[in-house]
């Protein structure tokens, strides 16, 4: 599929907040029943509440070529150059014979600002599950993770990085292979700039949805509790672990996983942004003791 081009991938917080009004991304479902033991001085009885599952816009993930020029206008200063991360852009001048498919992008993962708007929108369907992030909080800034992000240390030596076909966005079997998740750095051999940005965003999401990774970041991982089943680790190609809503250079009303077949617009400034939606299940507390639920997690 051919690409069209956009002069700029900039997007504002106001537009990002509005983007949460997406029934397709939210995918609200009633999936079961929760059982609670409710006790008073006069005795105990079992109460029930509806168990729901839906996606929550946890974070805005940006992937951009020029250090300090995130497409999220109000938050671009967070990724400003520092002593360890001075500049970005691709390592090529496009001269004949040069390796012009090696691309580099910075990445930021920042708490989605639309939580309040989304909760109000989702509440029209029923009970609403809480996400794992706080608005505007940076969970990952690649400029602060320069050793791992710019040198691929130590993940370039990991089995996932050395074994073809492991942890790939797309597949050689379908002739639609976008790039490997490992090493989770800012470099990728890929001629297509949009696909590069998507793989970089997937890498940033992969890091931040797990605990104990060898990177400088805050994990976007909530703890399960009675009547609350948070999203787990993001897995490439698996919508049950999370899905992406494009925000820039074009704002999409729907969500998908990578690789996707929707029209792709390549930003001339190399700046892209997606909202990462992740699935949560929950039910309203109706008693002191949680007895169990139907409908799985």
CB atoms within 10 A of CB 106: 30
CA-CA distance, 116 to 120, in Å (whole number)? 6
Task: Name the DSSP letter for residue 157.
Answer: G
Euclidean distance between CA atoms 55 and 21, whole angstroms: 12
- Give the span between the Cα atoms of 139 and 134, in whole angstroms: 10
DSSP state of 25: H
pLDDT band of 101, cuts 50, 70, 90: confident
| 112-129 pLDDT per residue, tens | 999 999 999 999 999 999
Q: How much is the pLDDT for 19?
A: 98
- How does residue 2 score in pLDDT terms, banded at 50, 70 and 90? very low
Query: In this structure, are residues 41 and 290 in contact, taking their beta carbons and an 8 Å threshold?
Result: no
**Mean pLDDT lowest among 66-70, 100-104, 181-185, 210-214:** 100-104
Tokens of 227: 């009547």
* Chain segment 179-203, per-residue pLDDT in tens: 999 999 999 999 999 999 999 999 9
**pLDDT tens, residue by residue, 224-260:** 999 999 999 999 999 999 999 999 999 999 999 999 8
Q: What is the pLDDT of residues 120-153, one digit of tens each?
A: 999 999 999 999 999 999 999 999 999 999 999 9
- Asked whether residue 7 carries a pLDDT value surpassing 50, the answer given is no
Q: Residue range 171-184: average pLDDT?
A: 88
CA distance 23 to 76: 29
Does the pLDDT at position 92 exceed 70? no
- Specify the 3-state DSSP secondary structure of 20: coil
Res 88: pLDDT: 63
């Amino acid at each position: 599929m051919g690409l069209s081009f956009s002069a700029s991938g900039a997007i504002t917080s106001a537009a990002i907040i509005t983007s949460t009004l997406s029934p397709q991304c939210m995918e609200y479902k009633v999936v079961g029943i929760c059982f609670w033991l409710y006790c008073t001085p006069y005795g105990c009885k079992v109460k029930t509440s509806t168990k729901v599952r839906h996606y929550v816009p946890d974070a805005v993930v940006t992937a951009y070529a020029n250090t300090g020029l995130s497409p999220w206008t109000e938050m671009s200063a967070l990724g400003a150059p520092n002593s360890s991360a001075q500049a970005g852009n691709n390592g090529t001048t496009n001269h004949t014979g040069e390796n012009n498919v090696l691309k580099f992008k910075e990445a930021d993962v920042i708490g989605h600002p639309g939580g309040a708007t989304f909760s109000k929108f989702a509440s029209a369907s029923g009970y609403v599950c809480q996400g794992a992030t706080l608005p505007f909080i940076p969970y990952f800034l690649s400029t602060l993770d320069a050793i791992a992000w710019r040198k691929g240390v130590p993940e370039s030596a990991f089995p996932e990085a050395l074994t073809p076909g492991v942890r790939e966005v797309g597949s050689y079997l379908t002739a639609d292979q976008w790039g490997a998740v490992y090493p989770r750095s800012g470099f990728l051999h890929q001629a297509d700039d949009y696909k590069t940005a998507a793989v970089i965003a997937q890498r940033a999401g992969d890091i931040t949805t797990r605990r104990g990774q060898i990177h400088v970041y805050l994990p976007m991982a909530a703890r399960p509790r009675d009547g609350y089943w948070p999203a787990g680790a993001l897995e490439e190609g698996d919508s049950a672990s999370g899905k992406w809503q494009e925000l820039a250079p074009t704002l999409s009303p729907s969500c998908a996983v990578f690789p996707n077949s929707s029209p792709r617009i390549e930003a001339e400034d190399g700046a892209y942004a997606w909202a990462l939606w992740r699935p949560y299940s929950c039910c309203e507390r109706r008693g002191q003791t949680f007895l169990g639920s139907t409908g799985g997690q």
